[in-house]
């Protein structure tokens, strides 16, 4: 796969584009380690689903502008991060234009196919984040049952999967049905973001069973600019959350 990689700037926002008007990532120039998009903050709700120093190991599929990588690098300093990006030009641009850290001890960037990496790796991860798209904003083989099943097999006993399912319409499961099947129904879709992105989470091992009030408290304690209060308030509308608890 090869395509045009462009960097644009407007009103203090530097954005990454794959030869189209669609943003594939962005950074506020004055605050390079903050998360500029709502959906990236919602994906970080994965950090609230487990206790303690979670996660210790992270696999990210899709680098983009490196926003989520940089957030984890700053706010989870004990975690080891592995990022798989299929397009080498994206890695170069992330380092040159989006402040991606150079730290071989904590951050490993692999140029390769994310599907192949997950199937072949012998490592297991506490958190797997999937946010990879081609120049047509399509996830391709990332959004399949075999891929999500492989992700489940590569998670630890405290494992969480977080997936950006862009473009899901209200009431349409789309690729979320694959996630549900691969994780034996231990999955949940958060309410759709204003941008149209829908974030899904799935769990392995110990059950996630937490009150929505406790989620709000954990989010407030993060002290990392996640700004998840409004999204977490909307969880009460999800099937299964009517009693004020999130269970997966």
Take residue 188 and report the two structure tokens written for it. Answer: 């949940």
Neighbour tally for 242: CB within 10 Å: 9
Who's near 242: CB < 8 A, 6+ residues apart?
236
Q: How far is CA 223 from CA 36, 48, 67, 74, 140, in A?
A: 16, 12, 17, 12, 35
Which region, left, alpha or beta, applies to residue 25 given φ > 0 means left and ψ of -120 to 50 means alpha?
left
User: Residues with catalytic annotation?
Assistant: 131
Who's near 159: CB < 8 A, 6+ residues apart?
124, 125, 126, 127, 128, 152, 203, 204, 205
Q: Return the SS3 of 97.
A: helix
Residue 234 DSSP symbol = G
């Amino acid at each position: 796969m090869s395509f045009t990689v462009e960097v644009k700037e407007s009103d203090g926002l530097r954005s990454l584009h794959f030869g189209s008007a669609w943003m594939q990532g962005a950074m506020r120039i004055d605050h390079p380690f903050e998360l500029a998009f709502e959906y990236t903050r919602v994906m970080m709700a994965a950090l609230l689903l487990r206790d303690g120093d979670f996660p210790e190991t992270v696999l990210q599929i899709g680098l983009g502008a490196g926003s989520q990588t940089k957030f984890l690098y700053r706010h989870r300093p004990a975690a080891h991060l592995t990022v798989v990006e299929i397009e080498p030009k994206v890695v170069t641009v992330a380092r040159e234009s989006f402040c991606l850290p150079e730290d071989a001890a904590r951050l490993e960037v692999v140029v390769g196919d994310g599907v192949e990496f997950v199937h072949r790796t012998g490592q297991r991860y506490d958190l797997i984040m999937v946010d990879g798209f081609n120049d047509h904003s399509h996830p391709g083989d990332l959004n399949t049952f075999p891929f999500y099943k492989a992700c489940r097999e590569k998670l630890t006993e405290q494992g969480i999967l977080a997936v950006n399912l862009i473009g899901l319409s209200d009431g349409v499961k789309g690729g979320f049905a694959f996630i549900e099947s691969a994780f034996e129904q231990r999955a949940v879709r958060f309410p759709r973001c204003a941008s149209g992105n829908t974030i899904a989470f799935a769990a392995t091992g110990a059950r996630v069973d937490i009150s929505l009030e406790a989620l709000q408290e954990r989010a407030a304690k993060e002290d990392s600019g996640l700004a998840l209060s409004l999204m977490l308030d909307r969880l009460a509308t999800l099937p299964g959350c009517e009693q004020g608890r999130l269970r997966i």
